[in-house]
Amino acid sequence: MSAAEGVILRENAQVSIIIPTYNESRNIIGILKSIGENLPKNITAEAIVVDDNSPDSTGKIVDEYLKNVKKIAGYTMDVIHRTSKNGLSSAILSGIQRSRGDTIIVMDSDFSHPPQIIPKLIESLKKYQCDLVIASRYISGGKINGWTLKRKIMSKFATLIAKKGLGVKTKDPMSGFFAFKKHVLKGINFDAIGYKILLEILVKKSGIAIKEIPYTFENRRVGSSKLDISTATDYLKSVWKLYKFGKPKEREEKRSSVRFLSKASRFYTVGLSGFGVNYIISLLFVGGISDLWYLHATLIGIIASITTNFLLNKTWTFHDRDFSKKRTFKQYGKFVTFSSLGGLVQLVMVFYLVDEYQLSYPIALVLAVLSAAFGNFVLNKKYTFKEKVWG
Ligand code: GDD
Ligand code: MN
């Protein structure tokens, strides 16, 4: 094939396969070859390796290989050299920027993502008329080979956080193996922290058609995973960012009474959880993690439970995701004030009911607790979280 033809193929590439590498000297050439062998014959494709100046010379090895390799019909290869290790997500974005195809495939370079699945990914985009196809370990037919129990649990846990915390419906939002039409990225402003570029797409893009197809993830045979503790904290950071990004998608319940009651029941569930927090934290500080005087421990328990109550009510009961410092501190101040006020109301009421109205103490207590709790909810709803009382 002439060089000119090679150029034409590059221009025409329909599918761009993005392959980030960091210290993959023993995998990269093998994976490039294997991708070439597995590509469907009727398409033109380019592989773009994105290397972050790997100390094991992955980048140079690819350069050498590309100098000598005989171009394969319909398949070109390219490499981007970045100067330092800047994270998987941002490497993928660099690759996409360089890409020419209107279909993008993202995959690892360590054979965990079998190149045999590539044709299925491409076919599925057409067959199911969708914009994004995810190779999934967590739908029926999919699985993971060779992972330790610990890694499996971590993965499941991360997936659970994404589903429950971010409302993602996909079964494997942590997948690193997926294909999509380039237009999917339009309008997304990426944070690109850490590993989870797919999750970012899933949260930030709505209205696209998504399909998952099963595959078996094979743990890498050579080299080691780059996933470490900082990847895990990056994950939590990015979930937090995505969480704040998301607009609460509450099914708008029309009946005010139902809205009121469901918020009230969340508010009191949180209140109950506060007892647990209070108890556990107090006990931890008398003899658990430290040995404080029991009154100090109790105080810490109270502060801890007010704080968890506040955060849970803010995020869960009232769906408030605005965590700007000023707003949050102001709300916290009001919340603490109303909580203390509740205690005071309770004391005064018990006193009056027993002393003036001669009620028995148990009945007086129930009445006082109920009024304080009710007042607490209404005041926080109206003044702390600025909602109408009814509704
Ligand atoms: N350029 C670049 N820069 N590449 C990186 C970087 C980086 O900072 N970090 C990792 N890579 C490359 C690796 O060389 C490999 O090709 C791929 O990204 C995945 O890294 P691994 O270290 O092998 O990740 P893993 O196997 O632990 O995790 C995989 O499975 C997860 C599923 O739970 C990845 O596919 C994850 O994306 C996936 O979520
Ligand atoms: Mn891997």
107 plus 189 within the same structural domain: yes
198 within domain boundaries: yes
51 within domain boundaries: yes
Ligand 1 contact via 154 beta carbon (within 6 Å): no
Domain that holds residue 55: 15-241
User: How does residue 249 score in pLDDT terms, banded at 50, 70 and 90?
Assistant: low
- Give the Å distance between the CA of 108 and the centre of ligand 1: 6
Residue whose CA is at the smallest distance from ligand 1 atom 34 = 176
235 plus 258 within the same structural domain: no
Ligand 1 contact via 22 beta carbon (within 6 Å): yes
67 plus 159 within the same structural domain: yes
**How does pLDDT run across 217-227, given as a tens digit for each residue?**
999 989 999 98
Number of structural domains in the chain:
2
Q: Which atom of ligand 1 is nearest to the CA of 177?
A: 35
User: How does residue 244 score in pLDDT terms, banded at 50, 70 and 90?
Assistant: confident
Ligand 1 contact via 109 beta carbon (within 6 Å): yes
**Residue at a domain's end among 189, 213, 241:** 241
Ligand 1 contact via 176 beta carbon (within 6 Å): yes
212 plus 297 within the same structural domain: no
**How does pLDDT run across 317-366, given as a tens digit for each residue?**
999 989 999 999 999 999 999 999 988 999 999 999 999 999 999 999 99
105 plus 231 within the same structural domain: yes
- Residues 6 or more apart whose CB falls under 8 angstroms from that of 285 comprise 292, 296, 297, 300, 301
Residue whose CA is at the smallest distance from ligand 1 atom 38 = 176
- Give the Å distance between the CA of 201 and the centre of ligand 2: 21
What pLDDT is recorded for position 11? 47
Q: Which atom of ligand 1 is nearest to the CA of 19?
A: 16
Residue whose CA is at the smallest distance from ligand 1 atom 32 = 175
Residue whose CA is at the smallest distance from ligand 1 atom 15 = 108
Q: For the chain, what is the HEC assignment?
A: CCHHHHHHHHHHCCEEEEEEECCCCCCHHHHHHHHHHHCCCCCCEEEEEEECCCCCCHHHHHHHHHHHCCCECCEEEEEEECCCCCCHHHHHHHHHHHCCCCEEEECCCCCCCCHHHHHHHHHHHHHCCCCEEEEECCCCCCEEECCCHHHHHHHHHHHHHHHHHHCCCCCCCCCCCEEEEHHHHCCCCCCCCCCCHHHHHHHHCCCCCEEEEECEEECCCCCCCCCCHHHHHHHHHHHHHHHHHCCCCCCCCCCHHHHHHHHHHHHHHHHHHHHHHHHHHHHHHECCCCECCHHHHHHHHHHHHHHHHHHHHHHHHCCCCCCCHHHHHHHHHHHHHHHHHHHHHHHHHHHHHHHCCCCCHHHHHHHHHHHHHHHHHHHHHHHHCCCCCCC
What pLDDT is recorded for position 7? 43
CATH code for position 192: 3.90.550.10
Q: Which atom of ligand 1 is nearest to the CA of 151?
A: 33
Ligand 1 contact via 142 beta carbon (within 6 Å): no
**Residue at a domain's end among 241, 260, 283:** 241
Q: Closest by alpha carbon to 152, among 141, 144, 162?
A: 144
237 plus 290 within the same structural domain: no
Does the structure show a pLDDT above 60 at 10?
no
Calculate mean pLDDT across residues 157-174. 92
User: How does residue 58 score in pLDDT terms, banded at 50, 70 and 90?
Assistant: very high
Calculate mean pLDDT across residues 156-167. 90
Ligand 1 contact via 79 beta carbon (within 6 Å): no
Residue whose CA is at the smallest distance from ligand 1 atom 23 = 225
**How does pLDDT run across 130-152, given as a tens digit for each residue?**
999 999 999 999 999 999 999 99
Ligand 1 contact via 87 beta carbon (within 6 Å): yes
Q: Closest by alpha carbon to 383, among 343, 336, 346?
A: 336
212 plus 339 within the same structural domain: no
35 plus 158 within the same structural domain: yes
> Which of 227, 230, 231 has the most ligand 1 atoms within 8 A of CB, as the residue to mutate?
227
**Residue at a domain's end among 208, 241, 274:** 241
Q: Tokens 């490499």 identify what position?
A: 79
126 within domain boundaries: yes
The token pair that represents 89 in the structure block: 């997500």
Ligand 1 contact via 32 beta carbon (within 6 Å): no
User: How does residue 4 score in pLDDT terms, banded at 50, 70 and 90?
Assistant: very low
77 plus 174 within the same structural domain: yes
What pLDDT is recorded for position 290? 81
207 within domain boundaries: yes
92 plus 210 within the same structural domain: yes
Calculate mean pLDDT across residues 168-179. 96
User: How does residue 72 score in pLDDT terms, banded at 50, 70 and 90?
Assistant: confident
The pTM of this model reads 0.75
Lowest model confidence (mean pLDDT) among 64-73, 120-129, 258-267? 64-73
